[in-house]
Structure 1
Amino acid sequence: MWRILEWLLVLCTLAGLVAVIGYGMLLFGNQVFAERIYPNISVRGLPIGGMTRAEARTALQRRYADFLAAPVTLSFDGQLWRPAAEDLGLSLAIDEALDTAFALGHQPDWEANLRLAAATWQHGIDLPLHLQFDQRVAQITLRAIAAEIDRAPIDASVELRNNIIIVGTEQWGRQTLIDETIADIAAAVQSLQPQEVPIRTRQLEPRVRDTDLAPTVTELRLLLSGPIWLEGRGGQCPNGCRWEWPVTQIATWIKLRNLTAVDGRPAVAVMVDQTAIRAALTPIATALREEGGLPRVDWNNGNPRIRTPGTPGRGLAVEEALARINGALYGNERTILLPMRELPPPVNPDNLAALGLSEPVGIGISSFRASAEYRITNILAGARQMDGVLIPPGATFSFNTTLGPVTPERGFVEGLAIVDNRTQKEWGGGLCQVSTTVFRAAFFAGLPISERHAHSFRISWYEELGEPPGLDAAIFTGVHDLRFVNDTGGWLLLTSKVDLRRQQLTMILYGPPSNRRVEYSYRILERTPAPTQPLYIDDPSLPSGVIRQTDTARGGLRVEIYRTVYTNGEVSLRDTIPTTFQPWPNIFVRGTGR
C-alpha cells in the first residue's frame, strides 16, 4: 500500500514539475516572442516564424517583387505590354497576413496562447496571402493599350474621278475585349507568379463589303471600257460622218447613288444621265437633219391655204438612237449606226395658221410693156416659180435657188439677154424682169439685201412707171444671184401676179405686222455719153456678108439710191445701193460662116 502511495506521490511531483516547467517556458516564450512571430508559422509557404513584423514584410516583398513588378505580360500579335501591379489595380494583403501571423500566441488569454503555441509547435500554420484586384484600374490601363490595338472597320468604297474608277477595299476592324481580358488576368494572377496573358480581341465587320460593290465596279468598268463611235448619213453628211464620244465624256454622264438592296445589304447604283446623252446627240441630230420641202401657199385673200404640200424630211430617230447607245454602253460593240426617221413637212395644214401671215409687208411692181412674146413667156414661167414661196425667219432668200433650172420642161424659152457684153439669145431671156420685181418687194419691205447686181446698161422697162434708175436687179443663173435676209422674226410669203392686160408684174411679201416704214431717195452722180463708134462682132454661125444689129447705143449713168428703214419709229437700217450703167455702143454681129 505504501508503495502505491509513493508512486502516486512521485507522479504528482513530476506532474507539478512539468507544469512548472511549461509555465516557465510559456513565460519565457512570451518574453522571447513578445515582438516576434511564433515559430513554425508561414505565409503562403514562406516561413516567417521568429521574424519581426518588419523582417517578415521584407521577406514577403522580396519573394513577390517580380510578381509585383510585372504580374502579367499582356501580348497581342507580337506586341508585349508589362504593366506593374499597381497599373492593374493589383496589390498583396501583406499587412493583413502579418497581422494574422503576429496575433497567433499574442492573445490576452494565456491558456489559449498555450494551446495555440503547442499546436503551432506540433503542426505548424501556413497562412494565406490575399490578392486584391481593383478592376477599375485595370480597365483604365487596358483602354490605353486598346488604343494601340483597336481600329475601326473601313467600308469598301467606289468613286469616279474624271474617268478613273477609284476602288477602296474593305478593311476589317478590331476591338479589344477588355472585360474578357480582365477575367483572364484575374485567373492568371492567382498563382502570384508572372504569367503571359493574351489580350482578347474580336474582328469588326465593315458595313459595306467588297462583295457589295463588286457589281458596281464591274458595271463601271464596262461603261468606261472605251469610246462610243456614232455613224450617220444625211443632211450635212451626205457621204456619212463619224463622231467619237471619248471615255472622259461618258464619265460625266455617270452618277453614283448609295442605296439599300432588296436583301438589306448596302449597294451603290450606277445611273447614266439620259438627259446628258440627249444633249450630246443634239448637234449630231442637227448635222443629220434634212428639212423637208416647204409647201407652196396661196394667199387666198388673207386666209392662206396650202396649194402644193411640202415634202417630208429626215431626221435622227432619237429614242431608238438612245436605246442603241445604252446598249453599246453595256455591251462590247461600241460603234453605233444612227437610225433615221421620216419628218413631216415643216409647214403643213396643222401649223400654217401659226405662221401669222396677215398683211403685205413689201410690194414690188414693174412694167414689161411692149415686151416680145418670148420675154412674156419667160416672165410668166419665172413668176410661177416665185409664187407661193415661204421664207422662214432668219433665212436668206436666193432667187436662183428658188427659180430652179431654166429648161423647156419648166416652161422657159430662148430669148435675148445680156451675155458677154452684148445682147444675144439665152434660155430664160427676160427673167431679170422677175428678179427686179422681187428685189423691189424686198427693198420696200425693209429687208437687208445681201446680194444684188445691176444691169450692164440702162434698160427702159425698169423706169416705165416713174421709178428712179438703179432700182433693178440682174441675175444670171450660176453666176449672179439676188439674195436678201428675212430679219423680221416671222415667216414671209412671196406671191406673184402677172397682169397681161396692163403688162405689169407684181411681187408681194406677206407676213406678220412688221411695224416698218421705208423711205428712199436717189442721186445721179455722173452721166456718160453713148459711144459714137459702133462695135462689130464676128459670128461664124451667120453666113458671110450678113450683118445684124443687136444693141442700140445709149449713154452711161452712175447713180446711188439711199434707203432708210424705220421700225417702231426708230431707224433700224440705212443702206446705199450703188449702180453704174456702162455707156453702150451700137453693136452689130457680122457673119463669117460659109
Structure 2
Amino acid sequence: MGVPLGGMTTQEAQQIIQAQILPEIPQIITLTYQDKTFPSTLLEMGVSFDAAEIANHAFSIGRSGSVAVWSGDLVALLSKNKTLPTTIYLDENIAANTLQKIAVEIDQPMIEAQIAFSGNEVHTTPGQIGRTVDIATTLAQIEDAICHENYSVLPLIVSEETPTVLDAEPYAQTIRDFLATDFTLTTPSEADHPSTQYELDSSTLAPMLELMKDNHDGQYTITLQFKASVIENLLNDLAPSLSIQTEEPRFIFNDESGEIELFKNGITGRTLNIADSIINIQQQIAAGSHQAELVFTYQNPSVADGATGTQLGITELVQQQSTYFYGSSSARIQNIQTAANRFLGLLVAPGEVFSMADAMGEISLDSGFTEALIIYNGKTIEGVGGGVCQVSTTLFRTAFFGGFPIIERYPHAYRVSFYEKTAGNYRDSNLAGLDATVYIPLVDLKFQNDTPYWLLMEAYVFPESSQIMWKFYSTADGRTVEWETTGPVNTVEPPEPKYYRNSELDNGEVKQVDWEAQGADVRVDRRVFKNGNLYSQDQFLTHYEPWGAVFEVGPGVDGYPISEE
C-alpha cells in the first residue's frame, strides 16, 4: 500500500494520505471458526490510522535516511522517491472486547455424557466438547496480520476440551446387559459354615451401579462398578447374619479315667471382611461376572478338639455345689433344665472373666424356654425364663465356695424360699444372702478364673430329687474358703396379703401367685486361703424387702378386700 510522497511538504503529504491512502485500506476483518464467519470493521477491532503522524514519520525518515519502527511495522526506505507503508494504531482493549462478543457464540462448557436410571430403564444424554476462544492468541494473530497488511480473513484460535465419554450409549448398553441377569453374592462352603447365596435383582442393582473413570498415563478406561457407599451399607446389613461366634470345644470329665472327653466340637468363628469383600465384588463386576464370593476373617478356637486334660490343666474336681427347687412348677423345671444345658462342658480360660449372660445367650420361647414366675419391677409375674435364677444361684455358690473372685452379683429383691432349701426339702436361713439373680442382658453374674489352668464346668439337673448340681474341674491350687454369715437380721414382717380380681379364673377360684417373705439384711464374709495363707477376702451385703402374699380372685368369690391395680 505505497504512495510516492517525494517532493511534497508535510501538509501536502497529509492531505494525500487522508484523501488517497486511507480510503483504499480494506475496512473489514473477517474471523472464521468451522463454518461460521464473524465480520468486523477495523473500527470495531480498534484499528485506526493517523495521517499527520504518517506524514511526519515519512519526512523524518526521509531526512535522516534511517528506518523508523512504529506500532510493530518495519519498512526500509531506500530513497525519498520510494513508497511509504501506512502507520497503524491498534487498541487492544477494543479488539479484546469485540472478540469477547464473538466468543459468546462459540464458547461452550465441556459436558460428560450422562447415564440416568428410571426404575430399571437406562437413559443417556450425550456429552459435549468444550470450546473456548483463545482471545490473547487470536489478538496477537490479528496484530501480526495487520502489520503485514494481510488481514481480510483470519481464523479464530479456539481451544477444545473433549469429554472422556462423548457418547454414553455403548456403556448404557453394558449396564442394560448387566441388569438382565441377577447378581449373586455367595459365602464360601466350609465344614462349619455351609454356603449361602444372596440374589440381587435388577430393581436392587439399578440404583447401586455407576461408571468409574480411571486415568492410566493419560489413557482413560471406563468400568462398571457398584457405588462404594451403597455396597458398603448392604454388606453392613448382611454382616450380623453372616457372622459366626467362635466357640471352644466342650468336654466332659470322666471321673473314672481322670481324662476329658470331647462332648461338642469347637466352631471356627468368622466375621465378614467388608473391605476385602467390596474389592472382590468390584473386580468381578469389572470382569463381567454376575457372581462374587464374600470374604471373611476367621478366628479359630483357642483349644483344639483333641486337647487333653493334662494340656489344659483339667485334672480333677475342684468344687461342686447343689441347690434345690422343691415345689417348682413343670414350667420352672423346664427353664432350669434348658438353662443348665447351656453350660454343660463349657471352658473358662485362665484369667478370663466369665459372664453368665454371654454364655446363656437368648432367653425366649423360640430357644426352648417357657413362661414361669419371675420377679420384675417389684412384682412376681409370669415371664419367659422363670427359674433361670436357680441356675445363676447355683453357679454363684460354686464360684463362691471355689474361692474364685466374684466380679458382679445381684441379689433378689426379696427372699425366695427355693434358694434356702437343702436336701430333703428343709429350709436353712443361713443360705440367705447366697442367691444371685440375672435378667439378661441387663443384670449379669460374673466371676474370674484367676488360676493358670483352664476351668471346665458341668451342670446337671435331677428333676426327681429337685436338684441342680454344678461342678468345676481344673487343677487344685491349694485354695480353701472360710465364710461367716449374720443370717437374716433387721427382719421386717411381711405386709398384709393383697387380693386382685381376675375374670379369667374359674368361678369361685382363688389362686395364690406370690408368697410372703420377711424383709431382712444379710452380711456374708468370705476369706480365701491358698496353701494356708490368706489370699483374698470379700463381703457380700444383701437387703431383702418385706414381701406380701398376693392372691387372684375369680368370679363369684366374695369376702376378700380387693385391691386396685
- Structure-2-length-normalised TM-score: 0.45
Q: Larger radius of gyration, structure 1 or 2?
A: 1
Specify which structure has the higher proportion of helix. 1
- Structure-1-length-normalised TM-score: 0.44
